[in-house]
Amino acid sequence: MKKEDILRILKEVESGAVSADKASELLSYRDLGFATVDTSRRLRHGTCEVIYGEGKTREQTEKIITALFNSGEKTVIITRIDKAKADYLSQKFELFYDEESRLAVAGEIPKPNGKGKIIVCCAGTSDLYCAKEAYYTAKALGNDVELISDVGVAGIHRLLDKAEKFENAKAVIAIAGMEGALASVIGGLAPCPVIAVPTSVGYGASLGGVSALLSMLNSCASNVSTVNIDNGFSAAYIASMINHQE
């Protein structure tokens, strides 16, 4: 919610078109009993509250989406939901759903309105579930985004062939499991912030992504910052904030 949105609501209260209770709901939060929906998050963060879908029932998710739409939102992201919930929600809302990443977008997918481009790179096809979570999150947050897959360091020429794409990027998201080396290599090539995402892909000693996490945290490339294991969503959210900075 922008300053002009707040002024519009206040003027509607002044004219009697909107009640004080409704205005308070739009500018603060809405208590649904099982959830307290943050309807003013756009005012603070520039983006709507995102719904973490895992552990919520389909009916709870529907009510949260409805509350956000009623507060004036046009796009709502829901992460980590299964196909059965997505099928149910698609009967209630206009819904995009990617089964591999388990990410859904209710409502409109906005046109890009950022300052530049976000590049999402993943080391292997096995990392695509995480890369697609980052890709579709970035799209839903209003970014021009490109996905480059299967460019891991075991065949580094594949990555070097794409290196020129980093030159005009505002941020690069580097996603990898195993030993997580991709992030450091991209950090050495890209003239912008690199957000590293370790995945849980790998054999036993990868420890479900802990090995990649530690490698990325210890990267010698100073432009690399790291998020949690399999957290493509947060990487895209941060990249979007970078891409929308004035």
- pLDDT tens-digit map of 46-62: 788 899 999 999 999 99
Mean pLDDT value across residues 201-225: 96
Residue 20 has pLDDT above 80, yes or no: no
Q: What is the pLDDT of residue 194?
A: 98
Residue 223 has pLDDT above 90, yes or no: yes
Q: What is the pLDDT of residue 25?
A: 63
- CATH number among 3.60.15.10, 3.40.50.1970, 3.40.50.12660, 3.10.20.30, domain 117-243: 3.40.50.1970
- pLDDT tens-digit map of 111-168: 999 999 999 999 999 999 999 999 999 999 999 999 999 999 999 999 999 999 999 9
Tokens of 105: 């977008």
Q: What is the pLDDT of residue 39?
A: 81
Where do the structural domains in the chain lie, given as residue ranges?
Answer: 3-107, 117-243
Residue 7: exposure state from Cβ atoms within 10 A (0-12, 13-18, ≥19):
exposed
Q: How far out from the chain centre does Cα 106 lie?
A: 14
> Structure pTM?
0.88
- pLDDT tens-digit map of 125-138: 999 999 999 999 99
